[in-house]
Amino acid sequence: MGENADDLILGVDLGGSKILTAVISSQGKMLSRDHSVTPARKGHEAVIQSILESAHRALKQANVDISALTAIGIGAPGISNPETGILFTSPNLPGWQDVPLRDIMQERLDKKTFLINDANAAALGEFYFGAARGVRNFIYITLSTGIGGGIVIDGTIYSGAIGAAGEVGHMTIDDEGPICNCGNRGCWETLASGTALAREARHRIKEGVKTSILEYAEGDVEKVTAQVIHSAADQGDGLAKELIARTGYYVGVGLANLINIFNPELIVIGGGLSNVGDMLLKPAFKTAGERAYKEAFQAVRFAFAELGRNSGVLGAAAFALQEMRRSFCE
Ligand SMILES: [Zn+2]
């Protein structure tokens, strides 16, 4: 992204189960990559300690001194305010409440630090280095255990009044639908995520529907995951195919809403569930086409995310660099 090839950023992708830390150049080249487990249950101090250790390993691996970094960018799950650097709450990080994560990191590493929501980071990663390069207005969604999103308007993440914008997974699709982690009912992610797909399959298996899904889950209904259902569908299992098509239908309902609200040029789709491919996405696009305004649907392009698991860490770094340059220009 940029004119100064010498800028080096430390990117951190903090997840509920793992921490990915990398030293990244302004061109998006990863000079190192450190992967560790998030001690999520031990509380925020233990997690911060793990991030610091991971950061030092990533710096050492890249043979870069911390003084040579331009900045640090952290992508974190949950609701955080990029202006104040406070992480308000996160369903994936139990016990985190109003943690000033940005300032803690900045103090302990003595380096300018920026905080952004993980899905917003991933959207920026795709904007600078991936599937949305050169596209000024697009929406990024990640179909995974939940559904995350990022809204890019005129080349900038739209973060809203307190940083909570882009929580596309929590738009209500069915007002009487399943209870969501956020406390609401029938959010998009309760109907169109990998977790929703697995929950529905377990329910149908317990009802006694004939299926080979269990054979892919060691015979244990509790081990039924979206991936297991995908495998069964690939082998022609009727229930698995039906449930994936149903999930795709709900993906499409949400896409139609996004298309009608934002009229985006592009929707970038990432996340593990998108690997299911046509079986999921054909019904999704069909439904979106039926429900959205025709002209808006005809104007939108869909693309797969290109950066995979690196989108968050690359995007967090890009955000830090973007904010450094913005403050420099002001
Ligand atoms: Zn919700």
Q: Convert the pLDDT of each residue in 121-179 to its tens digit.
A: 999 999 999 999 999 999 999 999 999 999 999 999 999 999 999 999 999 999 999 99
188 CA to middle of ligand 1, Å? 7
| pLDDT confidence of residue 4 | 56
260 CA to middle of ligand 1, Å? 21
* Poorest-pLDDT segment among 185-189, 197-201, 236-240, 322-326: 322-326
DSSP assignment of 216-232: GGTT-GGG--HHHHHHH
60 CA to middle of ligand 1, Å? 40
CB atoms within 10 A of CB 197: 29
Pair of tokens at residue 156:
């900038």
170 CA to middle of ligand 1, Å? 4
Express each pLDDT in 31-52 by its tens digit: 999 999 999 999 999 999 999 9
| pLDDT confidence of residue 221 | 96
| pLDDT confidence of residue 257 | 98
| pLDDT confidence of residue 5 | 58
- Report, as an integer, the average pLDDT of 184-201: 97
25 CA to middle of ligand 1, Å? 36
Cα 113 to Cα 3, 59, 87, 108, 109: the distances in Å are 21, 15, 14, 10, 9
167 CA to middle of ligand 1, Å? 9
| pLDDT confidence of residue 330 | 63
- Report, as an integer, the average pLDDT of 180-201: 96
192 CA to middle of ligand 1, Å? 12
- Report, as an integer, the average pLDDT of 76-83: 92
| pLDDT confidence of residue 181 | 87
| pLDDT confidence of residue 90 | 87
41 CA to middle of ligand 1, Å? 22
- Report, as an integer, the average pLDDT of 238-250: 98
Confidence label for 6 from pLDDT (cuts 50, 70 and 90): confident
| pLDDT confidence of residue 327 | 79
171 CA to middle of ligand 1, Å? 7
228 CA to middle of ligand 1, Å? 25
| pLDDT confidence of residue 46 | 96
Percent of the chain with pLDDT over 90: 92
143 CA to middle of ligand 1, Å? 14
DSSP assignment of 250-267: HHHHHHHHHHHHH--SEE
318 CA to middle of ligand 1, Å? 28
Residue 251 sits at the vertex; the CA angle it makes with 249 and 254, to the nearest 5 degrees, is 110
| 126 Cβ contact list (under 8 Å, min separation 6) | 132, 140, 268, 270, 305, 306, 307, 311, 315
174 CA to middle of ligand 1, Å? 11
**Among the listed residues 326, 278, 328, 330, the one whose alpha carbon sits nearest the alpha carbon of residue 302:** 278
169 CA to middle of ligand 1, Å? 7
- Report, as an integer, the average pLDDT of 281-292: 98
Express each pLDDT in 215-224 by its tens digit: 999 999 999 9
166 CA to middle of ligand 1, Å? 12
- 2, pLDDT greater than 70: no
- Report, as an integer, the average pLDDT of 262-288: 97
330 CA to middle of ligand 1, Å? 38
Express each pLDDT in 82-122 by its tens digit: 999 999 988 888 889 999 999 999 999 999 999 999 999 99
- 236, pLDDT greater than 60: yes
Q: Which pairing describes strands 301-304 and 266-270: parallel, antiparallel, or unpaired?
A: parallel
301 CA to middle of ligand 1, Å? 27
Percent of the chain with pLDDT over 70: 98
Express each pLDDT in 296-310 by its tens digit: 999 999 999 999 999
User: Distance between CA atoms of 292 and 322, rounded to whole angstroms?
Assistant: 34
